[in-house]
Structure formats: structure tokens, C-alpha cells
Amino acid sequence: MRALLAAALLLCACAHAKEKEESTVCPESRGQRCLTAQKCALDKQRGCEVCQCSPASGTGPDGKPTVNSN
């Protein structure tokens, strides 16, 4: 059940990462929303930043796993 909930939350990314200057972000990365940190890297060939959401850690605040790893 927890794994299903975690997957649903990751798929419906709803928290907006820090706002970047729209002109420096590649079109496909604009308006992207992540529950985790957003990582961006410069695409030198295109001259813009390509962004993606960081993976969820799967651990709680106590450091113990929150999702069954089977």
C-alpha cells in the first residue's frame, strides 16, 4: 500500500521546484514540477538547461526504509 501511494505521489509531481529564468531552461523542462529536488544540467549544444526530478530516497526521517524493497 505504501509503495502504491509513493508511486502515485511521484507520478503526479505537484510541488514546484525553485523558479529558474525561463529563457535558460529547455522548453521540455519548463513548468516541470517535482516532489523531490530538481536537478538541471546545461546542454551546451542547445544552449539551455535540461531538468529532471531527483529520485525519492525511500527512507524516513529516522533513516529506516519506508517502502518494502521486495
Question: What are the residue boundaries of the structural domains of the chain, listed by start?
Answer: 16-56
CA-to-CA distance for 40 and 1, rounded, in angstroms? 32
So what's the pLDDT on residue 11? Answer: 47
Q: 41 CB contacts (<8 Å, ≥6 apart)?
A: 49, 50, 51
So what's the pLDDT on residue 50? Answer: 95
* Stated pTM of the model: 0.51
Mean pLDDT of 5-22: 49
**Per-residue pLDDT tens digits for 15-68:** 444 455 667 899 999 989 998 889 999 999 999 999 999 887 777 778 777 765
Report whether pLDDT(7) > 70. no
